[in-house]
Structure 1
Amino acid sequence: MSFSIYDLDENIKKLLNLDNFLNGGTVNDFIEEISKDHFLKAQEVNKLDYLDPKPYIRTFESTLRELKQLHTEANDQTRMSEKQVENYELKHSESVLQLSAKIDKSVKKFDVLDSRISEVTTKINPLGNSLNRITDSRDRSLETIFLIRAYHGFYTKEKYDPLETLRTSSKFEDKTKCAKTVRNLITLSKKIESPDLPKTTKCVQTIQSYSEMMERNLLNKFEVASEDHQFEIMRDIAKILFGFNGGANVVQTFVSKNDIILDPSQEEEKSILDDEVTWQKLSDPNFGEVIKDKATEDILDTLRFEIKSRARVIQQVFEDPEPVLKIFIQRIYAQIVQNKVNTLLQFSLSVSTLAHVRILHILYILVGDFTKDVKEFLATNEFDKENELSSILDQSFYDLFIEYTSDTVYFAREKKNLEEIIYEIVHKFNEYNEKEIANNYLSTKIENLDNFEYNQKNEHASNDRFSFHFSERKRLNQFRTYVKSKLSDKNARNSTDLDRNGQDFEEYSKLNITKVETILKSSIESIARILELAPNKAPDYALEILEIILFDFGKLYIGSGLEIAYDHLKQENVSSKINSTQQFNFDYLTSFNLVSEILFLISSCIKKIILPSAVNSPNIKNRMINLTNGFVSRCELSLNIILSETQELIAARIAFFLTKQKKKDFFCDTIEDDTEACELISDFLILVYTRFNISLNNTNLENVLVKVGMNFLNQLLEHYKKFTVNSIGGIVLTKDVIRYQSVIDEWDIPELSENFQLLKEIGNLFTVQAELINSLVTEGQLANLKPYTIRQYVAKRADFNPSYIERFFSLKH
């Protein structure tokens, strides 16, 4: 009941309802609703001077009371709801306990029932097994009865109609039963057969004839189905025949029916057998491009496609495709691939050894890639679960090339190829330079040095050095025997190469780096083939190739080139002694730089190609290193001997030219041109520098020029001690010295130019006044000379007086 004077408006009372608030209404909504009318009225009242606030205050007071009452009602209702929830939760817990008890009872009943069922099952299983045995026995009895009746039919009437009915039936089960019965009939008839009963033998023959007829009819149907691509029928027949006799005939029929036939006209168009240009390239050691046999590639591509397509057909026709694929693959390799490989390899043998090993390598890679691709296909498509087909493919591939890659065949041809290439170069080179090589001066000198070193310095060393020389000589003797046999064959067929190819023969007159590149490229090519064709023997074969390079080629070509250079050096030396006016020819020095480049090429080839092939064989690798170092050191020793004796020759020639110096050259009254000795020596030194500059480079050039220059300087220092020099002659001597210095300065060696300054200072000893000699010898390079040496030069002054030596020169005797 409300005692307020101001009752609420009906519209507001509708808002003050608990249901309104519980159904989503908010206080803000309520306030907005009750305020909006007054807000409108306020707008109208604003025009008046006075507005009464009491109605608003009273209205909100009433509203507040109603809200409090609603709050109290809401709290009461919440408490009642909580009590109800507690009651319902209690009832739910009671229900759960009751249900749990019922479930426990049900589980116990189930366990009892399960135990009883297990007992029944234990009793029933033996009964089931007995029933299965009885059923099997009944089936076997029926089969046995049918088999005996069939045998009786063939024995008495040579036929059995129910069996024939099964054979002619269109049902798979009937045909299977027929095949199984015939198989058992053959076994039974052979056991019953007796010589005492001739009819049993005839019965065996009749049954076998019937089995052959049955199998033949099935195979005919198999062929017809194969032509129409009826894979389901083919699969049924194959299953029947595999159960009948292992399926050998059906497999053979399938393989024969699916035989791969290549187009012979297309193969002939692409064949390289009649391509002479290609075979010439294959026989050329300088031809480095890859030759492709398009015909063989196309054949292998065709076979690759056919194998993959036939494999899918085989998978649909046969339950176990592996035995069929095995026969199919073996047939392809034996009939198609082997025929192509043998044809090419046999023909290549008639062309050249190089052509043979090259075409062998090409075919080995082609067929190897083909085999690898087929293996991956079979493995990826799960045709080869037991890896049996992979083994068949590997064996088929191995059988293709075993005739050509065996240890006794392949590498012998590889060596023969290298020896033929080396023979072509070495024979012509040796023939052209036969006289110089026969002299063998350098080898004799090196052997003497080796023996001296071994005897004097290595008396307690190992026998490695001796064994190295022994194996070297052994190989050289073998190769010389080979060359002689080749020479005999060539002489028997035709005249010498020099007569036939005089123009081409000129390139073999001296060492040629292109020939070395040919041998090295051929050796690298051989190593590459060995790594593919005989990887297990690669270290041993690589060692033999290294020995061929170092001994057969290195000794007979590079060594002979050094012999020729040394022989020319000797000839120069002899000629200079016989004819002192003959101009020197240093052409043999060109081999110095060339041999250095050749040794660099050979060493690089061995280091980067040959040594890595023996990385897993330390003993062989060490042997390779020792052989290489020994060969290079002997070549370097040869070069050093040639260079050393060239320097001696130069020194002897300079000494000879100094003998042309006349006594009056430095004791004269007039100054003329350079002396004869100075002109000869200057021209000769210019020639020496020119030839050395062409033949040597870098450090080698500078070291040699320093030795030649210092030897020349020492000869001049001794030379000027022999001549009396007057004041005019001193100028002539200084003029010669300046000429020598200008020649030496052209060599652009600061060390040498500085040392030659001593000559000019010695020349000053002959030109300065006597009173100045004392101060002169305390300066420059003269200060480093011994007083006795300086006195030797001063004593050659024309105005020299021994009684005044102490007073003028302050020199000690």
Structure 2
Amino acid sequence: MNFSIYDLDQNIKNLLNIDNFLDGLSVNDFIEEISKEHYLKGLEVKNDKQYLDPKPYIRTFESTIRYLKQLEVEANESKINNESKMESFELQHSHNVIELNSEIESSMKELDNLDKSISSISSKINPLGTQLNKISNSRDRSQETIFLIRAYHGFFTKETYAPLENLRVSKKLEDKIKCAKTVKNLRNLAIQVSNESQSSTLKCIKSIETYGDKMESELLEKFEIASNNDEDLDFEIMNEIAKILMEYNEGINVIQTFVNNNDIIIQEQDESDELSESDFIKFSDPNFSDFKLPESLLSTFDNLKFEIKSRVRISSKVFDDPKPIIKIFITRIYAQIIRNKLTNLLNNSLSNSLAHVRILHLLHNLVFNFTSQIKEFLIVEEFEKETSELSTLLDQCFSDLFIEYIGDNIYFNREKKNLENLIYDIVHKFNTMNESIITNKSLALRLENLDNIEFREKPMVDRFGFSLEKKRTTQFKTYVKNKLNENRTSQRLSNDNLNEYTTINTLKVETVLKSVIESITRVLELSPKSAEYSLEILEILIIDFGKLYIGGGLEIIYDECKKASTNLHYLKSFNVVSEILLLMSSCIKKIILPCATNNPNTKNRMINLLNNFISQCELSLNIISDEFYETVIKNLTGYLNKQKKKDFNCDAIEDDTEACELISDYLNNLHSQLKNSLNGKNLDKLLIKIGLEFRGLLLEHFKKFTVNSIGGIVLTKDVIRYQSIIDEWKLPVLTDSFAILKEIGNLFTVNSNLVNSLITEGQLAQMKPYLVRQYISKRADFEPSYVDKIFKR
């Protein structure tokens, strides 16, 4: 036993518990806790420090260490004791496991013996059960056979059999089903044993059939009564009768009665939903877009949808297997009602291809949506769990409705005819108004003879495209000639109807493009060969319409340009053609080309066809632009040639020279008309090209005249007027380039002593010396020796 005056108090002993350290008590916290009560306060020494007595700390730590050692001894003893107990427990557990294993082996042997006994008994019982089933079935068949023979004997001798009649009038469903099955088998038996030489056998057959017909007619009458109550159908009676008659003759007549017993089939057969004459006129107008089917027809489809859904739900309650009944009902709806509606509308529209394809497209979408909704309903109602018989039937019925209007290129031939008629009408009237110009083909001949390597040396694909293009154009021209011959005998076009066809018209192009887009939309939805058909539509658009209408318009512009008329109204067609090309290329790239995304060869042919057409149109515009440019330069040169020699070598300053007046008026008029005819880059490029060439003409023009000091002022006045006109064009590149003309004018007006400083400053400093010398040599006071000194420096 340890004795110490500084024994640990209970609080410190409580701290020496492993749970405290597991809960987060650190060694530092523990030391602070056991020593916090052992510092003394009071005695103060120097520097205001408190006195600290170490003895209580030391004693407390010693007591703590002693207590810890004591705890260690106790822990070791407890460990040894627990290890001894654990060994004894492990030994006892091993004995228990061995005993339990022996018991398990004994139980498994007993289970094996029991399983063998059960297997032996089963092997003896199974054959016995099979034999019992055979005996039972044989007994049932024997009873049925005996009953059937007795029934036949009853009908053979008395034309009736009371037990069978009892089954028929029984209130039990099983008896009624047995009666129906017996009558069916009885009739088959009577037919097999009948003999034409024995009239009694034939009479027996007739008696059995009469009895069966009577039974079926009574049941059908009850079925109709139960199904005619719209407010509360008696599904129980209808289901019983359906089961009975299914056993009798597979329910042929009860199914027919069920299918026929609905208002939609009775009423709709006599209704008509035809379009009026005004409706057909609207459908035939290419510019009319808000075309719709009659509301009565849409209402009919809504009623059909409701009736089908209703009959599907009812049939599932009346028949154990409703699918065959639903198939019959759906087939009749499509084959009778829907087909009649479609046939009336489509056949009445055959006289106009545009109206026909529009109505066909609308009807196709209407029936497609109708079919999709019915299929979705059948899936939701879980009629299509395992198979898709009904969905397949619906798809087939839908396809059968339109096969005669869509199959074998029938539809697309009408689609092409519609576009060709529209284009023919425009091209014919356009050619009528401009026949002489278009026939000359001046622009086309210049394109063919153009010495352009890029245009002449086309790759093989392009050459093939050109041959197809030429063939297509020839075919369409033949078509147009045939149309012309037909129309000459029927009617003549008045000038009032042709005024809008004197030049190409954006509205006509928009009409054709809208028709093309409309055709592409129909092709994508009505035909699986959308890529091939889209290529044909593109050929019609570019070759038939583009070459003849837009190409003819370019011929007219070129002809006007060649006339060198002062009226530049024809230049407005530049913007029109640019807009048309933009419209066509945008339409083709966004609408037609995507149709051939999955067909690279077809898409490449489309791209080549488009690129060739656009490049030819751009080349034609460039030719017309060059022709116009040459005409302008020719006129400017002619006005400059009217400059008199004395204009710049004179004694007095008068008004602007005649050449300046003519050129100024011409440029002002030219700019005014160009602004009204062109815009954007087309206008700027042409003005810059004309301005720079005019500047070059002036630079060469001023080299031709001797200029004195007064004449230099006149020349400068002309230059300033030219500059003011060019500045009004608001093109910086021209404004900057014309500045040098004024400096050249100064060469003629400054004193000869100042010429040296003039040519070393401004834009003249950038000009080559020999060119500057050519202008200086035209001064009236020109001295070669002085000029040589200037340029030798």
Q: What TM-score bracket applies, with the shorter chain setting the length?
A: 0.7 to 0.9
Does residue 353 of structure 2 align to residue 360 of structure 1? no
Residue 170 of structure 1: SS of its match in structure 2?
coil
| CA distance, structure 2, for counterparts of residue 792 and residue 132 of structure 1 | 133
Structure 1 residue aligned with 2:6: none
| CA distance, structure 2, for counterparts of residue 749 and residue 454 of structure 1 | 33
Residue 656 of structure 2: SS of its match in structure 1?
coil
Structure 1 residue aligned with 2:187: 186
Does residue 679 of structure 2 align to residue 687 of structure 1? no
Residue 720 of structure 1: SS of its match in structure 2?
helix
Structure 1 residue aligned with 2:414: 413
Q: 1:426 to 1:454 in 2, by over 3 A?
A: closer
Instruction: Give the superposition deviation at 1:505.
Output: 3.0
| CA distance, structure 2, for counterparts of residue 531 and residue 103 of structure 1 | 77
Contact 1:791–1:811 (CA under 8 A) maintained in structure 2: no
Q: 1:726 to 1:123 in 2, by over 3 A?
A: same
Structure 1 residue aligned with 2:211: 210
Matches within 5 A, 1:120-519: 120-195=121-196, 197-228=198-229, 229-261=233-265, 271=273, 273-274=275-276, 276=278, 278-289=279-290, 291-350=292-351, 352-385=352-385, 386-449=387-450, 453=454, 458=457, 462-498=459-495, 502=496, 504-519=497-512
Q: 1:380 to 1:368 in 2, by over 3 A?
A: same
Contact 1:523–1:545 (CA under 8 A) maintained in structure 2: yes
Describe the superposition over 1:653-690 as per-residue Cα deviations: whole angstroms up to 9, x where unpaired: 00111121112211221111111110111111122222
Amino acid at match of 1:524: I
Describe the superposition over 1:391-423 as per-residue Cα deviations: whole angstroms up to 9, x where unpaired: 111111111111222242111111122222222
Instruction: Give the superposition deviation at 1:320.
Output: 0.4
| CA distance, structure 2, for counterparts of residue 724 and residue 709 of structure 1 | 25
Does residue 724 of structure 2 align to residue 722 of structure 1? no
Instruction: Give the superposition deviation at 1:372.
Output: 0.6
Q: 1:262 to 1:656 in 2, by over 3 A?
A: farther
Contact 1:771–1:809 (CA under 8 A) maintained in structure 2: no
Q: 1:807 to 1:532 in 2, by over 3 A?
A: closer
Q: Which moved more, 1:477-486 or 1:445-454?
A: 445-454
| CA distance, structure 1, for counterparts of residue 269 and residue 194 of structure 2 | 57
Q: 1:95 to 1:592 in 2, by over 3 A?
A: closer
Structure 2 residue aligned with 1:59: none
Structure 2 residue aligned with 1:560: 552
Gaps of 5+ in 2: 1-94
Instruction: Give the superposition deviation at 1:604.
Output: 1.0
Structure 2 residue aligned with 1:6: none
Describe the superposition over 1:374-396 as per-residue Cα deviations: whole angstroms up to 9, x where unpaired: 11111111223321111111111
Structure 2 residue aligned with 1:31: none
Q: 1:659 to 1:99 in 2, by over 3 A?
A: closer
Residue 529 of structure 2: SS of its match in structure 1?
helix
Q: Which moved more, 1:170-179 or 1:599-608?
A: 170-179
Q: 1:102 to 1:670 in 2, by over 3 A?
A: closer
Does residue 701 of structure 2 align to residue 699 of structure 1? no
Instruction: Give the superposition deviation at 1:772.
Output: 2.6
Instruction: Give the superposition deviation at 1:214.
Output: 3.1
What is the total number of aligned residue pairs between the two structures? 698
Amino acid at match of 2:249: N
Q: Which moved more, 1:161-170 or 1:335-344?
A: 161-170
Does residue 726 of structure 2 align to residue 744 of structure 1? yes
Gaps of 5+ in 1: 1-93, 576-583
Instruction: Give the superposition deviation at 1:723.
Output: 1.7
| CA distance, structure 2, for counterparts of residue 267 and residue 687 of structure 1 | 71
Instruction: Give the superposition deviation at 1:264.
Output: 6.9
Instruction: Give the superposition deviation at 1:809.
Output: 4.7
Amino acid at match of 1:564: I
Q: 1:266 to 1:693 in 2, by over 3 A?
A: farther
Contact 2:629–2:690 (CA under 8 A) maintained in structure 1: yes
Describe the superposition over 1:470-528 as per-residue Cα deviations: whole angstroms up to 9, x where unpaired: 11122212222222233333332222243xxx0x5322222221221221122111111
Structure 1 residue aligned with 2:525: 532
Instruction: Give the superposition deviation at 1:785.
Output: 3.4
Instruction: Give the superposition deviation at 1:798.
Output: 2.3
Instruction: Give the superposition deviation at 1:616.
Output: 1.0
Amino acid at match of 1:381: E
Contact 2:473–2:544 (CA under 8 A) maintained in structure 1: yes
Residue 587 of structure 2: SS of its match in structure 1?
helix
TM-score (norm 1): 0.80
Contact 1:490–1:496 (CA under 8 A) maintained in structure 2: no
Describe the superposition over 1:205-242 as per-residue Cα deviations: whole angstroms up to 9, x where unpaired: 44334333333333233223322432222212211222
Structure 1 residue aligned with 2:62: none
Describe the superposition over 1:297-323 as per-residue Cα deviations: whole angstroms up to 9, x where unpaired: 211111111111111111111110000
Q: 1:809 to 1:246 in 2, by over 3 A?
A: same
Structure 1 residue aligned with 2:561: 569
| CA distance, structure 1, for counterparts of residue 580 and residue 333 of structure 2 | 50
| CA distance, structure 2, for counterparts of residue 127 and residue 615 of structure 1 | 72
Does residue 762 of structure 2 align to residue 780 of structure 1? yes
Contact 1:771–1:808 (CA under 8 A) maintained in structure 2: no
| CA distance, structure 2, for counterparts of residue 297 and residue 747 of structure 1 | 63
Instruction: Give the superposition deviation at 1:101.
Output: 11
| CA distance, structure 2, for counterparts of residue 706 and residue 121 of structure 1 | 111
Q: Which moved more, 1:362-371 or 1:717-726?
A: 717-726
| CA distance, structure 2, for counterparts of residue 514 and residue 549 of structure 1 | 15
| CA distance, structure 2, for counterparts of residue 451 and residue 98 of structure 1 | 111
Instruction: Give the superposition deviation at 1:807.
Output: 6.2
| CA distance, structure 2, for counterparts of residue 312 and residue 238 of structure 1 | 16
Contact 2:462–2:608 (CA under 8 A) maintained in structure 1: no
| CA distance, structure 1, for counterparts of residue 525 and residue 313 of structure 2 | 33
Contact 1:322–1:384 (CA under 8 A) maintained in structure 2: no
Amino acid at match of 1:487: L
Residue 670 of structure 1: SS of its match in structure 2?
coil
Contact 2:688–2:734 (CA under 8 A) maintained in structure 1: yes
Structure 2 residue aligned with 1:543: 535
Instruction: Give the superposition deviation at 1:790.
Output: 2.9
| CA distance, structure 2, for counterparts of residue 328 and residue 680 of structure 1 | 90
Describe the superposition over 1:172-230 as per-residue Cα deviations: whole angstroms up to 9, x where unpaired: 22222222222222322333234554543443344334333333333233223322432
| CA distance, structure 2, for counterparts of residue 757 and residue 112 of structure 1 | 125
Instruction: Give the superposition deviation at 1:448.
Output: 1.8
Residue 349 of structure 2: SS of its match in structure 1?
helix
Q: 1:674 to 1:546 in 2, by over 3 A?
A: same
| CA distance, structure 1, for counterparts of residue 314 and residue 104 of structure 2 | 61
Structure 1 residue aligned with 2:79: none
Amino acid at match of 2:244: I
Structure 1 residue aligned with 2:742: 760
Give the root-mean-square deviation of aligned CA atoms: 3.0
Q: 1:369 to 1:807 in 2, by over 3 A?
A: closer
Q: 1:210 to 1:296 in 2, by over 3 A?
A: same
Contact 2:282–2:291 (CA under 8 A) maintained in structure 1: no
Q: 1:480 to 1:99 in 2, by over 3 A?
A: closer
| CA distance, structure 2, for counterparts of residue 454 and residue 256 of structure 1 | 72
Contact 2:531–2:599 (CA under 8 A) maintained in structure 1: yes
Residue 721 of structure 1: SS of its match in structure 2?
helix
TM-score (norm 2): 0.82
